[in-house]
Structure 1
Amino acid sequence: MIETINLTKRYGSFTALNDLNLKIEKGTVFGFVGHNGAGKSTTFSILATLLAPTSGAAFVNGYNVSTEAKEVRNHIGYMPDFFGVYDQFKTVEYLDFYGASYGISPAERQILIPQLLELVNLSNKSDVYVDLLSRGMKQRLCLARSLIHDPEVLILDEPASGLDPRARIEMREILKELKNMGKTILISSHILPELAEMCDEIGVITNGELVASGSVADIQEQLQANKIINVKLASDLEKAVLFFEDHHRVSTVTKNPNRDMLSFAFTGNDEEQIALLKKALDHGLAILSFSQEESNLEDVFLEITKGVDFA
């Protein structure tokens, strides 16, 4: 559905995007993660046919973004990180204007626009002027605008940027609904835990280069060479500390006497972790729980980009 092949964008001696290779299948929600200036918006602008690449190629639904721009635009809904609205329009007039721009008939628009307003939770704002809407409402209105021609692909650049917690939740729920409708969604965000909840796959980009790509679970697993294990005991905390400190796969044992708990870093695989628990039980330790901490998308991003200069 979306594919880039050695996609590169240079501005003089500055490389904003370097040999980007991506393949996003139909119906996938793909999260693009990166710091400001990493190359996310450059990629999105090229895919939306708004920016020409220096070299390489990009395709949306089989159409080349450079040579078949009109066909690409018919298949995508694009929501930039900074968007304009026509303040003199009412909400329903705003969508009507864009529907007409796409050649949708008045009769079809009359049916379609109320459905879009319902989807983005703006049905009660249909006759309100756009300049009177809150930022979150404007974000949702622009999402409705990008859906006006029922595109198969959505390219959403920081759709939750600047929103308060309630507005972010509303946006997240709308995106889940679009995912359930089978849309292919390419989305970037700094709200990393929310991306992990919504996305099937993620790509991490730094300084114009893709440094990791795959499912959230796969990338987390690759990075968990140093797992954190939490152990809760019924008794004998000090005995347990000495036992785990003596294991060659264990380091950095810390204890919480108030809760009869300890934690440690573990470098072994799953089988070695099972063997360690069995050995601890055979050793007579009164273990109530033995669990591995789950890393979130922020942990993944920090680990992947460790040592990267973001200047």
Structure 2
Amino acid sequence: MHEQGKKILDANAKVELAIGDSSAAVNEAGAAQISIGNKTHSHATRELGSASLPAVHVRSEDCIEIRRLYRFFGETKAVEDVSFTVKRGHVFGYIGPNGAGKTTSMRILATLDLPSYGDSFIDGLSCVNDPELVRRRLGFMPDSFGTYRDVNCREYLDFFARAYGVTGAERNRRLSWVLGFTGTEGMASKPIRGLSKGMKQRLCLGRALIHDPSVLILDEPAAGLDPRARIDLRRMIRDLADQGKTILISSHILTELAEMCDSVGIIEQGKLLATGSVEEIQDQQVEKRELAIRVLERSNEAAAVLQALEHVGEIIIDGELLRFEFAGDMREQAELLALLFARGFPVAECTSHRQSLEDVFLQVTEGLVQ
């Protein structure tokens, strides 16, 4: 084996062990061998031409950056020209069906795989060129737990603390904090084989936190959890963001991502289709929204006034409530309400129905999801 390739494979194998998936180390080593050196990058150059990447420049408020990322598996493009940034201290939701490219790009960020083209950055450090420095700053929670039947929770966390080089009093302090934060302190001496799915996920999150990283990459952390466990996980993720940690999280539970994330990215068939805050993506995709205005008196007259306005669709009158589609922006909505007040109509409330994140996801991926 080429000496440079051997060094990179050894490093990848160590990280595979440190994330608790030692059974995948051999398979990943084989995959990584294809990705190193000039062979894969030469293939990428044939596909993409001779364009070179711009010089690295990450703004101070951006903690994570993925730039023009490609990953080929044979002729399959698992990730194709994906670029986005995540601001420091924000939670970014990565949305897409199985096989969309989420896990592949997250593994590249976690330095467990190499891109065919492009790069990703943590705090301005290249995940390709500076993997050791990147690993000190991030914690990775994979979508599978691994098999640890003969160790208890504290031994499990202690193993990973040692793997990350946490020693002495600091290791004991980190162990105590992680057990307390994840709510597993009462099970510290309990064998892992006896844990529920929810408790295993808590422990897996604790493993990602044991070295106090500034960045967390969480791959489907809520998969298979009951409603109570999902609520607890959501609370922990928001608490971590409030502590200043930057979090990239993938999930199929879109309603929960909408509640916990500052911004989201929608990926399908390896391509990033939309990115931004939930509200921004909703505004990009939705030209109209439904307004419901409650007028306590003379609702029929109010409906006639509104019906004459631009951007107002057909009005449905339900007693005091007027419902209609509105194609204007927020300023035009304010002008509409001001007109009603100026005409002396007693407006009691106005509500606006926006599409859910699930609705937006289906609209963005329409015609693509298989």
CA contact (8 A) 1:41 1:157 kept: yes
Aligned equivalent of 2:29: none
Amino acid at match of 2:289: K
Does 2:140 correspond to 1:81?
Answer: no
How far did residue 125 of structure 1 move? 0.9
In structure 2, the residue matched to 1:301 is 361
Cα pair 1:88 1:129 within 8 Å, conserved: yes
Name the Cα RMSD after superposition.
2.2
Counterpart Cα distance in 2 of 1:289 and 1:107:
58
**AA matched with 1:247:** L
Match for residue 174 of structure 1 among 236, 239, 244? 236
Partner of 1:62: 124
Correspondence for 2:204 among 142, 156, 167: 142
Matched residue SS, 2:315 = strand
CA contact (8 A) 1:100 1:106 kept: no
Q: Which residue of 2 aligns with 1:310?
A: 369
**Aligned residue in 2 for 1:110:** 172
Change (3 A) 1:137 1:237: same
1:101 equivalent to 2:163? Answer yes
1:182-224 Cα offsets, whole Å, 9 max, x none, are 1111111222232233222221222211122222333333344
Aligned to 2:96: 34
Q: Runs of 5+ in structure 2 lacking a partner? A: 1-62
Structure 1: segments with no counterpart, 5+ residues: none
User: Structure 2 CA distance, aligned partners of 1:187 and 1:239?
Assistant: 50
SS in 1 for 2:204: helix
Please, what TM-score do these two structures have when normalized by structure 2? 0.76
Cα shift at 1:309 = 1.7
Note if contact 2:315-2:322 (Cα within 8 Å) is conserved in structure 1: yes
Q: CA deviation at 1:41?
A: 0.9
- Summarize the Cα distance change of 1:104–1:283 in structure 2 as closer, same or farther, 3 Å threshold: closer
For 1:206 and 1:142, the matched residues in 2 are separated by 27
1:253-309: per-residue Cα shift (whole Å, max 9, x none)?
A: 33444xx3231111112332233334445556553322322444334323333x232
- Counterpart-to-counterpart distance in 1, 2:221 and 2:198: 10
Task: Name the stretch that deviates more: 150-159 or 264-273.
Answer: 264-273
Could you say which structure has the higher helix fraction?
A: 2
- Higher deviation after alignment, 165-174 or 97-106: 97-106
Structure 1 distance, partners of 2:125, 2:176, is 31
Q: 1:21 aligns with which of 83, 101, 121?
A: 83
* Residue aligning to 2:310: 248
Number of matched residues? 308
Task: State which of 278, 289, 292 in structure 1 corresponds to 2:352.
Answer: 292
Give the stretch that moved more between structures: 289-298 or 142-151: 289-298
Aligned partner letter, 1:271: R
**Contact 2:291–2:353 under 8 Å retained in 1:** yes
Q: Tell me what 1:261 maps to.
A: 321
2:270 counterpart of 1:201: no
Three-state SS of the structure 2 residue aligned to 1:251 is coil
Tell me, yes or no, if the aligned pair for 2:145 and 2:200 is still in contact at 8 Å: no
- Residue type matched to 2:250 in 1? S
| TM-score, structure 1 normalization | 0.90
- By relative contact order (CA 8 Å, sep 6+), the higher-ranking structure is 1
